[in-house]
């Protein structure tokens, strides 16, 4: 009797596990892998590298090479097509670094600091970078 009940329970579980939707499920491709964009704040201006890249997630790593704390702003230059992007770091102490993560669509961006005497840098973001679908060891 026990064997029959166990066999019946196993059959029911296997049958239930096999049930499902017959429709194909289309996986969406992964977004592009994040790239690192570096920026240095100097007394004369903000320098970024690379200045041109494709749309997708970025990690903007900023180093402050001035003698005072600075706050970096990444913002869309052209806001005629919508609200755009504006992201800020916290205060970055002299000789320290900060990281700003953003998912940037195509367009032109300005990387600036609050001090008016320090010139801003411009980022040009082109078409979206390829998917990271086939890249191994991605999160």
Q: Which segments within 1-139 are labelled E, that is strand?
A: 35-42, 45-49, 52-64, 72-76, 86-88, 97-104, 107-113, 121-128
Sequential pLDDT tens for the chain (139 residues) = 667 777 777 777 666 666 666 677 677 888 899 999 999 999 999 999 999 999 999 999 999 999 999 999 999 987 666 678 899 999 999 999 999 999 999 999 999 998 778 999 999 999 999 888 877 766 6
Structural class in CATH, domain 35-128: mainly beta
So what's the pLDDT on residue 134? 76
Cβ atoms < 10 Å from Cβ of 77 = 13
**CA-CA distance, 135 to 15, in Å (whole number)?**
36
Q: Are 88 and 101 in contact (CB under 8 A)?
A: no
């Amino acid at each position: 009797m026990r064997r029959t009940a166990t066999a019946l329970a196993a059959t029911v579980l296997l049958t239930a596990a096999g049930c499902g939707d017959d429709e194909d499920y289309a996986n969406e491709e992964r977004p592009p892998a994040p790239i690192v964009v570096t920026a240095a704040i100097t007394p004369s201006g903000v320098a970024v590298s690379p200045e041109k890249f494709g749309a997708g997630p970025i990690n903007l790593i900023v180093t402050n090479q001035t003698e005072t704390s600075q706050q970096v702003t990444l913002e869309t230059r052209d806001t005629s097509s919508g609200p755009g992007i504006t992201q800020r770091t916290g205060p970055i102490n002299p000789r320290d670094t900060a990281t700003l993560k953003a998912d940037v669509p195509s367009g032109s961006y300005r990387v600036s600091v609050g001090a008016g005497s320090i010139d801003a840098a411009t980022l040009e973001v082109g078409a979206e970078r390829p998917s990271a679908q086939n890249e191994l060891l991605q999160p």
